[in-house]
Structure 1
Amino acid sequence: MALVLTEEQSMLRDSARGLISDKAPVSHLRHLRDTKDATGFSREFWKEFAEMGFAGLLVAEEFGGSGLGFVEAGVVMEEIGRTLMPSPFLSSAVLAASALSRGGSAAQKSEHLPRISSGALIAALAVDEGSKHRPLQTALKAVRSGNGFRLSGAKALVVDGHVADLFIVAARTAGSPGERDGVTLFLVDPKAKGLSTERTIMVDAHNAARIDFDQVEIDADHVLGEVDQGFALLEGVLNIGRGAVASEMVGLSEEVFSRTVTYLKERKQFGRAIGEFQALQHRAAQLYIDIEITRAAVLKALQALDGQFDKAAAAVAVAKARAGTTATRAVQEGVQMHGGMGMTDQFDIGFFMKRARVCEELFGDANYHADQLARMRSY
């Protein structure tokens, strides 16, 4: 398949770019940070965003969505990366919608997917429990109790968990941390007795949460997928999230590159624009090449998720690892080429640098995915 967008996908990109750049530029994130906004994103804009159909991109038409694919979701994520737009799109419209669509019962889909599609319900995926992404190390306990389960433990770095109306929680119903078997996904009400949520504002001014479970009772009807066999479903959803975050990093990298090139043309030193110096031209050219190669790798991964989902893991690992290293290089070059001013809060480059660092960690950094790829290839 050609590594280019179709006409329809290009139109979707243009629509998303116009809306996001107009309503949620970087100054929007800066305002939310400076005012210490309690939500961390604009609910008014999220409503408008959902009315445009973006919240339902991955939801089937029968549940009020568009029934589009992961390439289309990646297109929107790339535009989000350009302006660092804070929103529940990743957590709710991508991760939660995918989990429910792929593993939910008919009743669960009918109850939750229409509300996710309309933007009325915000759902969040709770997986990690430590400082690094290690889904196999899931240790939160789910013990059988009556007609359901009792959850005990904690989750960290739950993106948008502080505003979620529904949690999708990975818990261990059997086995030990490190084993694939024994992981089960649960749909959990944030208001359930014994559950507490602590908002954690990340370094990039986006939001996550820490969730503590103290003997939280869950009915058997709230199991998502199969008991003890939820890791395959979880890994598939995480791969979708990895492709989405990689797309965001492509948009972030390209925006940083564009801003840096503009600065190289405007900033003068020794009577010349600094962009005339060959050393900086070489560095800019190399960054451009890196971004284009990464864009192709990410699009290939998204196409694999759409076409051969069960065989897409390797392509996704390459894309996430590559996107992380490219975004890191882009923001480092951007800050350095802006000189000392690049380190000040006056310039927006610092916002991109911080977001790139968070995106690198989300769902596994470059080292994690290099290791995963080596294991897939039996190295």
Structure 2
Amino acid sequence: MDFSYSDEQRMLKDMVDRVVADQYGFEQREKIIKSDAGYSPDVWAQFAELGLLAVPFSEAAGGFDGGGAELMVVAEGFGRGLVVEPYLSSVVLAGTFLDAALPDDTKAGALEAIIGGEQRYALACYEPDGRYDPHWIETTAKKDGEGYVLDGKKAVVLGGDSADQLLVIARSSGDNPSANGLSAFLVAGDAEGVSREGYTTFDGHRAAEITLANVRVGADALVGSEGGAAAPLQHALDRGVVALCSEATGAMEVACDLTLDYIKERKQFGVPIGSFQALQHRMVDMRISLEKVRSMTLWAACSLEAPEAERRQRLAAAKYMVGKAGRHVAEEAIQLFGGMGMMDESSVSHYAKRIVLIDHYLGDRNYHLDRLIDQLGEESAAA
């Protein structure tokens, strides 16, 4: 099989690499993280101008109809630069949910603000008691005349600290952890009854704990059909997993490059430590871990349109490999750098943080390993 990029994909990769190289020097990134917004409005506007915010959306939504490969190209480039803009939260998670849930004749109008960079959205799905289970939803949506009343709590809502709109997953019927009865609602971030406790995550991104107390919304806030949010939610989460795995690939690549450069320069006993065979072997093992993740991510990215059973297996396998091999690369990079690898002044420490934290977004490696085992067990029983 030919896994090389097409001409269009190479052009996209070159564009992403250029804008990241121009906008995301190490010192520039630190200033962005420490700003009040936690991201750069100017960089976000540039992403919109270049069309990067439109990549994963269908043509009916005004996007470029990019598939898993195109999403992988963009996210991998962002991983190499440790980009902290809310691309995953606003575009990949909330945006592709809307693209999947809305009828074709309303998509363009609904997604125009996201694609144009005018508004940022956040998917408020996971809850404190649900861990990584997206179907464990205790937030309730009760009918109130023509509208609804929302009550509940959402945990670690990526980009939720300052998002203009929250895409809230609530249970309108059914019991946990059933996928039936889940509904989605668009709620303004500053709506009455919405409280947000924002914070900076360990890897420099922003998230929030969100409480909804007697939040009243109209019937027009319902996204798609009542009780029909499970399918578009899975659609969005699948693309989120591909984006995270791709970002990890880019970050791991840079971590390997930085480590190799360091052991070539750092001297011990009058010679570069990279001349020691034991360290060479460890460096090779890091590269092997990187290639494992790259291969599994490509497999997952090309499986977004595959039958459900195959898609679920490949995504779970890729996310598991990112958690396992990614931690190996992060820990080895810090070990080979020594004390410098733990310093905030050293860029490799920030790559290590991001790689490790990616494992914990949208399900860690243990969660996905359990999913993979359950799926294989179901297939075995059926056979």
TM-score (norm 1): 0.95
Q: Is the Cα–Cα contact under 8 Å of residues 138 and 171 in structure 1 kept in the other structure?
A: yes
Aligned partner of 2:4 in structure 1 is 4
| Partner residue in 1 for 2:100 | 102
TM-superposed deviation, 1:309: 6.5
Equivalent-residue separation in structure 2 for 1:294 and 1:353 (angstroms): 15
The 3-state SS of whatever aligns with 1:154 is strand
How do residues 83-232 of structure 1 correspond to structure 2 at under 5 angstroms?
A: 83-106=81-104, 108-130=106-128, 132-232=131-231
Q: Kindly, what percent of the aligned residue pairs are identical?
A: 34
CA contact (8 A) 1:246 1:324 kept: no
SS across alignment from 2:256: helix
The answer (yes or no) to whether the contact 1:194–1:215 under 8 Å persists in 2 is yes
Q: C-alpha distance in 1, partners of 2:238/2:324?
A: 18
Matching residue of 2:381: none
Distance 2:158 2:168 in 1: 12
- Specify every segment of 5 or more residues in structure 2 that has no aligned partner in the other structure, as ranges: 379-383
CA distance in 1, matches of 2:237, 2:63: 21
Distance in structure 2 (CA, Å) of the matches to 1:44 and 1:222: 30
| 2:52 matched residue in structure 1 | 54
User: Residues of 1 paired with 2:84 and 2:304: CA distance?
Assistant: 25
Relative to structure 1, is the Cα distance of residues 310 and 188 closer, same or farther in structure 2, using a 3 angstrom cutoff? farther
Distance 1:167 1:107 in 2: 22
Cα deviation code 1:256-294 (max 9, x no counterpart): 000000001111111111111111111111111121121
How many Å separate the matches in 2 of 1:369 and 1:41? 30
Q: Distance in 2 between matches of 1:187 and 1:124?
A: 10
Of stretches 132-141 and 107-116 in structure 1, the one that deviates more from structure 2 is: 107-116
Matched, 1:26 2:26: yes
1:241-260 mapped onto 2 (5 Å cutoff): 241-260=240-259
Do the aligned partners of 2:77 and 2:250 also contact (CA within 8 Å) in 1? Answer: yes
Distance 1:17 1:175 in 2: 46
Q: Aligned with 2:319: secondary structure?
A: helix
**Within 1, Cα distance between the matches of 2:74 and 2:154?**
28
For the aligned residue pairs, the C-alpha RMSD in angstroms reads 1.7
CA distance in 1, matches of 2:250, 2:239: 17
* Segment of structure 1 superposing worse, 277-286 or 101-110: 101-110
Query: What per-residue deviation string (whole Å, max 9, x for no partner) do you get for residues 287-325 of structure 1?
Result: 111211211110111111145567411111111111122
Q: Which amino acid aligns with 1:69?
A: G
Match of 1:81 in 2: 79
Write the distance in 1 (CA, Å) between the matches of 2:104 and 2:160: 25
What is the aligned partner in structure 2 of residue 45 from structure 1?
43
Aligned 8 A contact 1:317 1:369 in 2? yes
Q: How far apart are the structure 2 equivalents of 1:253 and 1:225?
A: 38
Aligned residue identity for 2:26:
V
Instruction: Give the superposition deviation at 1:107.
Output: 6.2
Q: Tell me how far 1:93 sits from its aligned partner.
A: 1.7
Matches within 5 A, 1:307-322: 308=307, 311-322=310-321
How do residues 264-279 of structure 1 correspond to structure 2 at under 5 angstroms? 264-279=263-278
Shift in Å at residue 113 of structure 1? 1.1
